[in-house]
Structure 1
Amino acid sequence: MNSTVEVKLLTTIEELEQVQQLEKSVWKDQVIPIHQTLTAVKNGGIVVGAYHQNQLVGFSYGFPGFINGKPYLCSHMLGIEKNFRGQGIGEFLKKAQKNAAIEKGYDLLTWTYDPLESVNAFLNLTKLKAICSTYVKNCYGDMKDGLNQGLPSDRFQVEWWISTPYIEEAHQDELSAIERVPYVQTANGLPQLAEVDPSSFFSRWALLVPVPKQFQQMKKDAPELALDWRLKTRELFEALFENGFAAVRIVKTGDEPVVYYLLKKRDLLPVERRPFK
């Protein structure tokens, strides 16, 4: 990561105004009112900022949630200024948020992301070692920003069990022994998920599920194919999650136009029972 970037907790009105300006730069959409973020940080919420030469270039924002008698931190937003992406700042912000959450007594963080965005998936599952067994159809409705426009806003809701040894351990598996859900390539070389029956995989202990490497580019060049990926993976992930699987990491490939989600039976993982449905 850029060694000149510093991370700190944001708590003042002035700092949260800087977050608003960065929100506008990243999403060009409505921003969270300062009275809301300020109230959140005074009541168990956490806002972390990344600064380069006293300029805010990234932030994460989370607020308290509550389920099944236990609190958790809902890590709602993470934004990074365009010129600072791809430098490890997102991972740095998440880890700073984790440390602050542990100090406040949380043991679970949760957030959502588009399961077809492979870069976000790699950060969330492979680097941070969050897991996912909750699929939310059209989570935010019809979104108009440049990243999300044109498709249902389906999301993975991940769980990051920050107090378990699982997130600090190295995880290796003999991938050659794990079945892969097949895909084909179209005439112009783009990947397309094959027609499969999800129930044919329910008896497996692990499974590899492909998603496109370059989904944003596919949305521009082949929107009908992008929608095909959305609908087929929706059906597949929903069925697998309901039958005991959890997504645990992303497996990168060489020259294939896809990466793979590694799914395992959740009862094999040293984490708590599935909290979200």
Structure 2
Amino acid sequence: MAGSHTAPSTELGPALLLAERAALAAGVTLRELHDLDSMREARDLLHRVWRPAPDNPVMTPELLLVLAHSGSYVVAVEQDGRMIGTCLGLLSTAGLHSHIAAVDVGAVGRSIGFALKLHQRAWSLARGISTITWTYDPLVSRNAYFNLRKLGAVPTEYLPNFYGAMRDGVNAGTDSDRLLVRWDLTAGQAPRPTPGSGRTEEPPVVALDIGPDGHPVRGGRPGDLSGRTVLVRVPPDIEALRAGDRAVAGAWRPAVRDVLGGLMADGRHTVTTFTRDGWYVLSPRLEFDA
């Protein structure tokens, strides 16, 4: 596995300090799990949050135990000795792949996800791992902002219906499109350069926006996108939209797949950031920029 036998990074000391501060700010502690009883507790928490179909468990305690014993990342988030969160990361050719996490509903909104990510970063750097990857639903605006803007992860691939038809309580009824992101752990959290800085650039092209009725509205002809910064909008709260108007919500999946997925697949643009008001910003790759 890439990086598994290299020396710990010089970034480790500051990373440990950042992780400790984030956990303290969230009012939690994080610890690795190694015993079967803890794995059962983690399994139960995963199931409470993701609500899988009875015949399709998210994870078994035995598999969690094997993964932890073989060196993967299996961690609990605890408050006053009670497990309120958990996360599983798998060793991969890229480094560490963060597969699934869960936080009890009563603990949401306390920056526990941020504490988990910084703990993952310190854990990885201690093992000579410099990259973490994971996937997320590109329609979930708050996750896009957290992953791309707050952490500085970079989308590398659009994966249409990656998991196929899902039957859990969170994803049921929608295709499981995902963005694969890559987080360079040695890059810190410094903001990346603004697309097009240092040169004259035409105004960005809006390739996908929200119409007055909430439906996606496509804009810009293919020829307009060459060498231009492109903006792709997603709804501010797709989960609320799915609960309130499934027809409108359902229109967004194919639209974002065609526009955002298409732009990423043709290799001429790369996603550089996500704005607080819900826009993916894509800049032309230098090798294609005339």
TM-score, structure 2 as length reference = 0.80
How many residues are aligned here?
Answer: 254
Structure 1 residues 13, 114: closer, same or farther in 2, change over 3 A? Answer: same
In 1, Cα distance between equivalents of 2:75 and 2:268: 34
Counterpart residue type for residue 178 of structure 1: P
Determine helix, strand or coil for the equivalent of 1:203: coil
Distance 2:283 2:35 in 1: 43
CA-CA distance at 1:260 after TM superposition: 0.6
TM superposition score normalised by structure 1: 0.83
- In structure 2, stretches of 5+ residues that fail to align are 1-21, 197-201
- Deviation track 1:32-66 (CA, whole Å, cap 9, x = no partner) reads 12222222122231122211111111121111122
Matched residue, 2:73: 46
- Matches of residues 170-249 of structure 1 in structure 2 within 5 Å? 170-171=191-192, 173=194, 177-187=203-213, 190-194=214-218, 196-198=220-222, 200-204=224-228, 206-242=229-265, 243-249=267-273
Identity of aligned residues (%): 26
Residues 63 and 3 of structure 1, relative CA distance in 2, 3 Å threshold? closer
- Stretches (4+) displaced over 6 A: none
Which one has the bigger strand percentage? Answer: 1
- Do residues 142 (structure 1) and 165 (structure 2) align? yes
Residue 263 (structure 1) aligned with residue 287 (structure 2)? no
**CA distance in 2 between partners of 1:147 and 1:136 (Å):** 18
CA RMSD of the aligned region, Å?
A: 2.3
* 3-state DSSP of counterpart to 2:99: strand
8 A Cα contact 2:74 2:89, kept in partner: yes
C-alpha separation in 2, matches of 1:75 and 1:218: 27
Q: Aligned match of 2:145 in 111, 117, 122?
A: 122
Task: Give 3-state SS (helix, strand or coil) of 1:173's partner.
Answer: coil
Structure 1 unaligned runs (5+)? 254-258, 269-277
Query: Secondary structure of the residue that 2:270 maps to in structure 1?
Result: strand
Aligned twin of 2:14? none
Listed as ranges, the matches of 1:26-41 within 5 Å are 26-29=49-52, 30-41=57-68
Taking the aligned partners of 1:102 and 1:199, their CA distance within structure 2 comes to 44
**What corresponds to 1:151 in structure 2?**
174
For residues 28 and 252 of structure 1, the distance between their equivalents in structure 2, rounded to whole angstroms, comes to: 29
Q: CA deviation at 1:105?
A: 1.8
2:83 is the alignment partner of 1:56: yes
Query: Which SS does the other structure have where 2:162 is aligned?
Result: coil
Structure 1 residue 217, shift from structure 2 partner: 1.6
| 2:174 counterpart SS class | coil
Aligned-pair CA distance for 1:185: 2.4
Q: Write the distance in 2 (CA, Å) between the matches of 1:130 and 1:178.
A: 22
Q: Residue 257 of structure 2 aligns to which amino acid in structure 1?
A: R
